[in-house]
Chain A
Amino acid sequence: MAPVRLSNSLLGTFRAASIRPANAWRQKCLYHSYDYTESPPFPPAESAILSSAYNHVPSHGFTIDALKLGTRDAGYLDVSTNLFPRGAFDLVSYHLVTQRLALKDNVQFPGDGEQGKRMGVGAKALAIMAQPTYIPASLVELAKLADEIWFLAGDQSVDSSWYTKRASLSTIYSATEVFMTQDKSANFTETEQFLDSRLEDLMKIGRFMGALGEWGNYTGHSTINVLRSKGMRI
């Protein structure tokens, strides 16, 4: 009993000691952890303006006008939009980040009901995100979203599939997003079909790649064994 307690308390001190340095760089963590609360994504003043500007997006879109109205609502001036060097993109980015962080609260599991929340950003926002200056930031956000989705889906892979899973999901997500901008069907049923068929494709590819790997493994081993049986020293 005593050794167990000792090791437990040792572990405890290790934990206590390891928390402090982790504090400093936890904002850079690329993985999920339940142990730390995430720092808020925007500073308080920016957050206040962006959240009130966000209410104007349905009527004004992701534009500098929506941002200006937001600054007014938050008690700032028109000129305070200079707090956002990237202008409308900061508003888009606010949308993306808040939707991503809210994903864990409104994620839908089978049987939970039909009303999932739609996350599409629309053609205008995609156009802003595709501007060369903003492409890196947009890709980072896409990667984070893919990571969040896989995390919420319970993915715990620690091999190279960690990367391929996120890459393939990012591809499918962005393809679906682009498809959605052209979708005129009621309730975006065509987008749903498109998404389903892309996921089906992905699974087909996954199965094929798995089979290919198995075949390669088997054939390789057999070849070596055949050669060994012929007396070759390998």
Chain B
Amino acid sequence: MQASRTQLGRQLLAGSMGRVSREPYRCFSCSVRQAQQQAPPPKAPQDAQGTTHFGFQTVAEALKEQRVGAVFSSVASSYDSMNDFMSLGIHRLWKDHFVRNLNPGRNPLTSPSSGDKGWNILDIAGGTGDIAFRMLDHASTINHDAHTKVTVADINPDMLTEGKKRALQTPYARTPRLKFVEANAEKLDMIPDNSIDLYTVAFGIRNFTHKETALKEAFRVLKPGGVFACLEFSKVNNPLFDAVYQRWSFGAIPLIGQLVAGDRDSYQYLVESIARFPSQTEFRDMIQDAGFLVPGKGWEDLTNGIAAIHKGVKPA
């Protein structure tokens, strides 16, 4: 206990010291030098008890949540434009494809009238509402479904504020179809068992401290037959393309972060957390271990594996 507290204290201290000493030198030349000094990804060391990854750093578990929170609080306002810059706009295509493939909404023309109306969707880590609005749009315009509900849950109040602000520009603001909840995906106490049709998490699960716990929790809240769907950065298959992609993500993205959002460290964390995320097969196995059935091989690669869609179905 004593040891872990000193460790925690030291890391807090190191973090704050690092920030203080780096703050005044935010200029273009420094960022280039910093990018060149960027150490290659270290080999993953065996996790010591009670620690986890924060990018390439190893931090105490209690700290990760806090530091992820700090990252997203600092990027919340520029989140959308940054995504566009970093992925060259492709993230919109991924999200559109993700939603179209899930085909949310219950078409009253083709399905029997008995039973419940609409789907109950839970969008985890969806603070800015990107996925939620797309879901509702798809349900309303493609499936003529005016009952499908989306609950947006995010651990970060700043991201939720951003989402609420954006919701005002959609027809769903202040309707029972859209709800914002501040929640940790590992402890969804406010969501009853077997109540959700579709659980989605887009570009969020790599920031979770305990991914297995979150998967277990997803399994709990889903109805039998409900679907867990995850859109997340993954591993590129083609080695040549991978080299280009690694260059881009470690060279350009922190730099763009610095220029556009004025925050290099947060974007450095983003690319490191992407590199740390398990590969497609490993994550598929994690989903299976949580009790889900996986369709086909279990995932679908997007843009050569830069991102991947993983799905799992809770057995009925």
Residues of A that sit less than 8 Å from B by CB:
43, 45, 64-65, 68-69, 71-72, 74-86
Given A45-B315, A82-B311, A82-B313, A77:B226 Cβ within 8 A? yes
Given A65-B110, A68-B110, A85-B300, A79:B316 Cβ within 8 A? no
The answer to whether A78 and B295 touch across the interface, beta carbons within 8 angstroms, is no
For the A-B complex, the count of residue pairs with Cβ-Cβ distances under 8 Å equals 61
CA distance A68 to B106 in the complex (A): 10
CB distance from A214 to the nearest CB of B (A): 50
The answer to whether A79 and B293 touch across the interface, beta carbons within 8 angstroms, is no
* A75 contact set on B, CB distance < 8 A: 224-225, 316
* A86 contact set on B, CB distance < 8 A: 296
Say whether chain A's binding surface is mostly helix, strand, loop, or mixed.
helix
Of the candidates B101, B104, B225, the one whose C-beta lies within 8 Å of that of A76 is B225
Nearest chain A residue, comparing its CB with the CB of B196: A79
CB distance from B199 to the nearest CB of A (A): 10
The answer to whether A71 and B300 touch across the interface, beta carbons within 8 angstroms, is no
Nearest chain B residue, comparing its CB with the CB of A48: B316
Contact of B283 with A by CB under 8 A: no
User: What 7 A-B pairs are tightest by C-beta distance, nearest first?
Assistant: A76-B225, A77-B225, A80-B225, A83-B295, A75-B316, A82-B227, A79-B227
CA distance A115 to B119 in the complex (A): 47
Given A45-B293, A75-B224, A76-B316, A82:B111 Cβ within 8 A? no
* B111 contact set on A, CB distance < 8 A: 65, 68-69, 72, 78
CA distance A85 to B301 in the complex (A): 12
Contact of B229 with A by CB under 8 A: yes
* A71 contact set on B, CB distance < 8 A: 225
CA distance A68 to B225 in the complex (A): 12
The answer to whether A77 and B223 touch across the interface, beta carbons within 8 angstroms, is yes
* A76 contact set on B, CB distance < 8 A: 224-225, 313, 316
Of the candidates A64, A68, A74, A85, the one whose C-beta lies within 8 Å of that of B295 is A85
